[in-house]
Amino acid sequence: MADSRIPAALREHVTHRAKNCCEYCYSQSRFAVQPFSIEHINPTSKGGLSTEDNLALSCQGCNNHKYNKTQGSDPISGQKTPLYHPRIHAWTDHFVWNEDYEPVWHK
Ligand SMILES: [Zn+2]
């Protein structure tokens, strides 16, 4: 969810750092129907701060899906596992684009 408490200069920095792409699915904002959000990787409801290292540019689909979660269930083991973190993990270690240009999780 967009947070108006994030200074405009910081929003601009995060957007520029992400090259106008969602940091979760790599969709480009210029092709999106809805505006992208600056989201808190570690949600403010869980103590996350509006700092550069805790903010990510996100499309509405990823932002809505992630919401305030930081963990999910591993589809193979069923165990709780941390969600992808754009500042810690390498996107290409976890996802690929399929032939329909949809990002998919890879093993
Ligand atoms: Zn996305």
Q: What is the pLDDT of residue 75?
A: 83
CA of 53 to the centre of ligand 1 (A): 18
CA-closest candidate to residue 56, choices 69, 44, 70, 42: 42
Enclosing domain of residue 78: 8-105
Q: How far apart are CA 82 and CA 31, in angstroms?
A: 29
Query: One digit per residue, pLDDT tens: the chain, 107 residues?
Result: 445 589 999 999 999 999 999 999 999 999 999 999 999 999 999 999 999 999 999 999 999 999 999 999 988 899 999 999 999 999 989 888 888 877 776 65
Nearest to 86 by CA among 60, 48, 55: 55
Q: Is residue 76 part of a domain?
A: yes
Is residue 49 a part of any domain in this protein?
yes
Q: How many structural domains is the chain composed of?
A: 1
Q: What is the pLDDT of residue 94?
A: 87
Supply the pTM of this predicted model: 0.86
Distance 9 CA to ligand 1 centre (A): 22
Residue 27 falls inside a structural domain = yes
Distance 62 CA to ligand 1 centre (A): 4
pLDDT score recorded for residue 97: 83
